[in-house]
Structure 1
């Protein structure tokens, strides 16, 4: 393949991944706004709302490691496309839910369906981009989640007000199926000759060896910490702004775009920083960002005005975004090609387990303390401290250049 053809293929792959991940994030995030009318329709208390918000992450977390293994085993493009078909169907079915139990089951199955996307996309990026370009490629892909977060409040609140919450899920489900068809035709893994395929098979790292790597566990804990905060705030900030800060639905949607826009810019900048200037210095950078995020969250919940709430939410989003990029980039740079999908699945398991626990735990504490978010605040701050400590335990890169069977001592 000529250099021009390779660059064109990189653009196609990254563009398809970006669009698919944008749809995926819309699919999962609109529930955070839709839960307000859903709770009214089904008379749900905060604990029940938290259970609905968390049910997606239960399925998503459970399928992370199997999803990574499937991507390594059967090809990332095939697994990713099938995942997109599956989760789009369950997104549309969310609009047909008739009870609390049906919502929980559908959202759980939606999580199972979407889970293979993240490790599969990591494999595709590692197949098409050299290591010194993966930070920018990964940050571009992850920026789709930030754009999704920015669009969601406005899009979801507008459609809900005009057409109802059920139409919201029908529309996004159909959009996902359209993108899945495009991926089926345009998304491809690189063609490898038989010798390369045989070499890949011979170099497979046993899961037991992978699980002995200290870096993997440090990343998992760091991922749990940052995603607890990310999904805890994403799930409950709309309700907090409406119920505690007394915004109407459309005003909440408009103001919520501000932190998301700045997070998008931070996502792009973070990829460049990590590729060019912070390579090998990630753990100190992540620890500092985690402590700053803790401070901003404390100030946000104690802010005297809505404007100050949005300001501190914006600052916490910037530092939190840097952490997300750094954690997501490590498996692409520090694990061998043959296990990137599995490694990413294990790291993501920590983050998505947090995605399950955070909305449910916050909902329970809000109910237990009569609508107060004070306990939730301290939980979020504590998790950021844990995130900082975990980041400082990341082994140096020369000790963890990812485990191949030829150098098993590197696994420890």
Structure 2
């Protein structure tokens, strides 16, 4: 399978504290020659000052001063690098339980999740928690990196034992593609280059797996969803009667001649033309930003969605969702929030909290239903006008939303529609 040179893969890292996530990313960047000389010099100086031998690779991703001083990751650190085969965006997310919300934020758009396990400790509670969140967010690919193999003498038995521990609990979760790689991030074994110390491992090193992972089919190409962001009426010579609807394709494909319906009004028309900054195109697919021109003058405004007539989402004002609560103040049922779903922003309220999930045991808590920061639970939401929704497992764009507190304008929750 040929991979286009500009294909972008987003991946997130997760693991317990001191599992070596930042060191692994530092090693990826260092060995793939993706670090600028001034960055290398700054990190080398900090490493010397802290009394380290050589370069402390973890410092490449820990951007906050507190992180560098404590040697931990607190916020989500985004790093961009490129190889001849692919572009990558890494979200290095924190391992501590009190930063669950940061992991949800960093992982929400990822194609793949790297879950690190310390070879000495095996599968621990944090491993289960992070795998559960990856499953909840429907991340299509999970790569389990068994790190610090140098500290267990590169033993194949240790690696095999961790695989069976992991498979025992992950079989209950919805993760389609799981791969296992034994690595030593500190020494670079199986990160960019193959390990001479683990010749029993016949698979590819991590960078090769990331470069060659098939992600084209992760996008929903079946359900055409085009949320309208704005109406374009140039009112100038040559465009006197032009009326275009601009936005970003959420999923599926639209072509001129397609029969479409505008939701929620239900008006039907046909796609006349599709334009981009570079001129007219024969088809639009996610995540292209385009302007769609219809053959009929129908009433379309921001927040509406153009879909194929034979494949419509549901238009609902009440629905169930899993949410992760992101704010210091707990959720307040019956309080007015703004719900942001694609380009639609109706007022909404939490009608009911059905249960919370204990992310250590996956059990449902039906007694204590108060959603506090970092809690994940199932709620019923009611909106003031219909939103055009798909289930999150079918469509990560039209199946997700955020809640905004009207008083403070802060984002308080991220939701996945069930």
Q: If the length of structure 1 is used for normalisation, what is the TM-score?
A: 0.23
Larger fraction in helix:
1
Q: If the length of structure 2 is used for normalisation, what is the TM-score?
A: 0.22
Whose RCO is larger (CA < 8 A, sep 6+)? 1
- In our comparison, the structure showing a higher alpha carbon Rg is 2
